[in-house]
Amino acid sequence: MFARWLYTIVFYLLTPLIVLRLTLRARKAPAYAKRWGERFGFVTPTSSPVIWVHSVSVGETLAAVPLIKALQGRYPNMTLAVTTMTPTGSERVTSIFGDSVYHCYAPYDLPDVVQRFLRRVRPSVLIIMETELWPNTIHACAKRGIPVILANARLSKKSAAGYRKARWLAVPMMQELAAIAAQTKADSERFLSLGVAPEKISVTGNIKFDLELTDELRAQANELRRQWQAGNERPIWLAASTHAGEDEQVLTAFAAVRRKLPEVLLVLVPRHPERFDGVAEQCGSMGFSVSRRSILLDANQSDAIQSEATQSEAVPIAPVALPVATDILLGDTMGELLVFCGASDLVFVGGSLVAVGGHNVIEPAAWGKPVLSGPHVFNFTEATQLLLDAGGMLICEDVDALAEAATGLLTTSNVADNNQCQAMGQAALAVTESNRGALGRLQNIIASLVPR
């Protein structure tokens, strides 16, 4: 208890700095300046029984989409309250679910803030996606008899080591969890080492493998590919979710690729919207001809797709012609990354040439696309190893290795004739198909804890 009190005092002291950080971030991303009251628990009260699902940002939100939809079908008389921490995650929730869910920002982990939120929302159960653990929130739920489930849980060696350094705070928090649905056996063992009772832990797999690619999504991808190629059969290389310090490495590799394959199109999608302008300038400064997806859409007076295309909802692809001279298409819209994967020949997954830990390698694999990554993949260790073992993925240690791998996989006048590219894509697809089922196992755990 003393540890949590000390943590709370420090959090209160840091609150002015947190507000200052929001203000500073709002300079580049204005959405951070909005809806502050929600972060302090001032939310609209609910009336019906509530299942609370919390996801931090875009990645966790998209992973939670199939789960939320399944819960809506299974518990039609309950409200699904979905919280996020970031504006991009909030935008995804709103665009995917509209008013079919109750949505707001998650409360800061301060006792009075959490209590205010719980009094107004009154959840029957809390489902936390992946690794977002807050001591005061979990303790307040436990005191009120609200089961807390850690879903699709992952715990890297680095994170586990950090929790062990703060055992005085982490262990009591872990012990108050009602259930943990771990992605892998290694994750479950790390939770066990932090004091979680064995009977509370189940290895359910990664629900991201349960991604459904509908006929509508496939049609979107085919149409987008047709627009990008404009009848020229040019190879398409997608660099997805890149970070600061990584864009220039990808661009350097792309320049090397184009010396041998000048017809290749790079579709570059930075991870954070506030970086779009800077990355566009960077591309131009290196001599590339850049087209921005958002500007092309605006020029065609069609912006519906910018907020509608998701992994579970499909809308028609706008007829947007790509200028013939384009070297790089900057993906500066939200919600289109999954369909971009389907429209490409090769996918590099960012956050991996810098020490971020990598992003979702499962989405391109589900499309049957060969996957490239840098060496930093600790966020997706198990999925990465499965893809590497099957031959569906390559790790590129540096820029030169990335350029060499991309050149080899994109060579030939028609990528469909590249046997290595096709073999890697089929191997990646086989991995995703053989690892489905986590969503059903997770639903069974939730059903055992949702009050009847």
| pLDDT 10s digits, 87-132 | 988 998 998 999 999 999 999 999 999 999 999 999 999 999 988 8
| pLDDT 10s digits, 238-258 | 999 999 999 999 999 999 999
304 pLDDT exceeds 80? Answer: no
Residues in the chain: 452
CATH topology of domain 215-434: Rossmann fold (3.40.50)
Which of the four pLDDT bands, split at 50, 70 and 90, describes residue 360? very high
Q: Which CATH class is domain 39-205+438-449?
A: alpha beta
pLDDT for 316 = 52
How much helix, strand and coil, in percent to the nearest 5, is found in the chain? Answer: 55, 15, 35
| Residue 326 amino acid letter | T
| pLDDT 10s digits, 189-219 | 999 999 999 999 999 999 999 998 999 999 9
pLDDT for 47 = 87
What gap in Å lies between CA 42 and CA 109, rounded to an integer?
Answer: 14
Which of the four pLDDT bands, split at 50, 70 and 90, describes residue 290? very high
In 3D space, the residue among 451, 386, 71, 5 whose CA is nearest the CA of residue 209 turns out to be 386
Q: What is the residue extent of each domain of the chain?
A: 39-205+438-449, 215-434
261 pLDDT exceeds 90? Answer: yes
The DSSP secondary-structure symbol of 302 reads -
Which residues, including other chains, have CB under 8 Å from residue 301's CB and lie 6 or more apart? none
The two most distant CA atoms of the chain are separated, in Å, by 67
Range 427-446 average pLDDT: 97
In 3D space, the residue among 214, 165, 155 whose CA is nearest the CA of residue 186 turns out to be 155
pLDDT for 323 = 87
pLDDT for 319 = 62
pLDDT for 156 = 87
Range 180-191 average pLDDT: 95
Query: What tokens appear for 29 in the block?
Result: 């991303």
375 pLDDT exceeds 90? Answer: yes
| pLDDT 10s digits, 40-76 | 999 999 988 999 999 988 888 888 999 999 999 999 9
399 pLDDT exceeds 60? Answer: yes
**279 or 233, higher pLDDT:** 279
The answer to whether residues 255 and 405 touch, using CB atoms and an 8 Å cutoff, is: no
| pLDDT 10s digits, 385-394 | 999 999 999 9
In 3D space, the residue among 269, 309, 310 whose CA is nearest the CA of residue 63 turns out to be 310
| pLDDT 10s digits, 325-351 | 899 999 998 889 999 999 999 999 999
What gap in Å lies between CA 373 and CA 348, rounded to an integer?
Answer: 6
Query: What tokens appear for 214 in the block?
Result: 């509908």
The answer to whether residues 84 and 104 touch, using CB atoms and an 8 Å cutoff, is: no
- Same fold for the domain at 39-205+438-449 and the one at 215-434? yes
pLDDT for 233 = 84
Q: What does pTM read for this prediction?
A: 0.85
State the average pLDDT for the chain: 91
311 pLDDT exceeds 60? Answer: no
pLDDT for 141 = 98
447 pLDDT exceeds 90? Answer: yes
The answer to whether residues 353 and 372 touch, using CB atoms and an 8 Å cutoff, is: no
Which residues, including other chains, have CB under 8 Å from residue 369's CB and lie 6 or more apart? 341, 342, 344, 345, 346, 347, 425, 428
Which of the four pLDDT bands, split at 50, 70 and 90, describes residue 352? very high
Q: Which alpha helices (H) appear in 98-156, and where do they start and end?
A: 111-121, 135-143
pLDDT for 302 = 44
Which of the four pLDDT bands, split at 50, 70 and 90, describes residue 313? very low
pLDDT for 392 = 97
Which of the four pLDDT bands, split at 50, 70 and 90, describes residue 314? very low
Any idea what the Cα angle at residue 424 is, between residues 347 and 335, rounded to 5°?
Answer: 30
The answer to whether residues 84 and 106 touch, using CB atoms and an 8 Å cutoff, is: yes
Neighbours of 299 (CB within 10 A): 10
pLDDT for 175 = 94
Query: What tokens appear for 377 in the block?
Result: 């993949």
Which of the four pLDDT bands, split at 50, 70 and 90, describes residue 359? very high
Residues assigned a catalytic role: 60
152 pLDDT exceeds 90? Answer: yes
Which of the four pLDDT bands, split at 50, 70 and 90, describes residue 429? very high
Which of the four pLDDT bands, split at 50, 70 and 90, describes residue 415? low
436 pLDDT exceeds 70? Answer: yes
Q: What are phi and psi of 395, to 5 degrees?
A: -95, 125
